[in-house]
Amino acid sequence: MKVGFIGLGAMGYPMALNLRKARLLTAVYNRTHSKAEALAGETGCVAACAIPDMAAQCDTFVLCVSADQDVLAITDTLAGCLHPGTLVMDCSTVSADTARKAAGHLAQHAIAFLDCPVSGGTEGAKNGTLAIMCGGEEKVFERAQPALNALGKRSVLLGPVGAGQATKAVNQIAVAGIAQAVTEALAFAEAQSLPLDRVIEVVGSGAAASWFLSHRGPSMVRGQYPLGFKVALHKKDLEICQRMAGVRGVRLPVVEMTLLHYQRLLEGGHGDEDISSLFRLKHALFTPSA
């Protein structure tokens, strides 16, 4: 497998490094070229100035870019320059419809596609321990195994193209609910004048245990929101969930409430903070003048 990696952001850069460690990475491309040059400097792989420059050197492309329109623009370019038989794996979080559109376009050029969005944050990307939700044909999933194994600790095929993205939407709804519950609970604990580190320790050992409580709780109660997952990105994901539920005429309470809260955080200039900054709004409930 000779991988060309596209999109070297908070997730993509460490994911590309893990592919290099597994001796699978050949070339990288990023819209802002300096990031590709930095990775090439670190690893010795090729920093491509344009996507078609990688077509002759790579048999597999892994994408990890921002949003739906980026995936569609890039797969459009790939469709025009890749050899038949090439594999394209999209790790970005986009809608199931976008995955199906991208796959359909690539299939016209005999290019295989797997949607494989990831969960586990920047820590999971760095450690190669992502959970990877895949949609596509069984034989394409099998072919993608070397890259999936380098990037994650668990990859599961959930159905045809789009099923990976639909499962990621499930994940993002659950993440919103957990973030809502934990930030609210800790603001309540603070208002009860409880010793917050000890609350996190004991509550995190019982039925309310969660990764978010134990990893983000200690920093949020100190008013710190170190980046893992940006508010603006989760908002984009919840808008996808909102559209997917809307097709069935449903408005999901956790999704609607969290979108409202994220809009307030964005208006307050906190869109680039970690989603644990939801604690700001919960804390303010108890200190309205703050």
The terminus-to-terminus CA distance of the chain in angstroms comes to 55
Q: Which two tokens stand for residue 80?
A: 């025009």
Extended beta strands in 135-278, E state:
152-157
Query: Using alpha carbons only, what angle is made at residue 172 by residues 196 and 95, rounded to the nearest 5 degrees?
Result: 160
Residue 122 in contact with ligand NAP, rule: CB under 6 A: yes
Comparison of 190 and 277: residue with beta carbon closer to ligand NAP: 277
Q: In a 3-state reduction of DSSP, which class is residue 4?
A: strand
Kindly indicate which of the ranges 36-44, 146-154, 183-191, 227-235 contains the residues binding ligand NAP, using the contact rule CB under 6 A.
Answer: 227-235
Compute the least distance from the CB of residue 105 to ligand NAP, in Å.
Answer: 16
Contact 141/134 with Cβ under 8 angstroms? yes
Taking Cα atoms as reference points, which of 112, 103, 109 lies closest to residue 140? Answer: 112
Per DSSP bridges, beta strands 118-119 and 130-134 are antiparallel
Kindly indicate which of the ranges 96-104, 185-193, 225-233, 241-249 contains the residues binding ligand NAP, using the contact rule CB under 6 A.
Answer: 225-233
Q: Which of 35, 168, 235, 282 is catalytic?
A: 168
Strand partners, 61: 4, 88
Answer yes or no: 101 catalytic: no
Residue 116 in contact with ligand NAP, rule: CB under 6 A: no
Comparison of 69 and 205: residue with beta carbon closer to ligand NAP: 69
Kindly indicate which of the ranges 28-36, 175-183, 260-268, 278-286 contains the residues binding ligand NAP, using the contact rule CB under 6 A.
Answer: 28-36
Kindly indicate which of the ranges 54-62, 69-77, 82-90, 146-154 contains the residues binding ligand NAP, using the contact rule CB under 6 A.
Answer: 69-77
Out of 4, 14, 121, 164, the only residue in the binding site for ligand NAP (CB under 6 A) is 121
Residue 74 in contact with ligand NAP, rule: CB under 6 A: yes
Residue 164 in contact with ligand NAP, rule: CB under 6 A: no
Residue 64 in contact with ligand NAP, rule: CB under 6 A: yes
Q: In a 3-state reduction of DSSP, which class is residue 5?
A: strand
Extended beta strands in the chain, E state:
3-6, 25-29, 46-47, 60-63, 87-90, 112-115, 118-119, 130-134, 152-157
Residues near ligand NAP (CB under 6 A) = 7-12, 30-32, 35, 64-66, 70, 73-74, 92-93, 118-119, 121-122, 228-229, 233, 237
Tell me the catalytic residues: 168
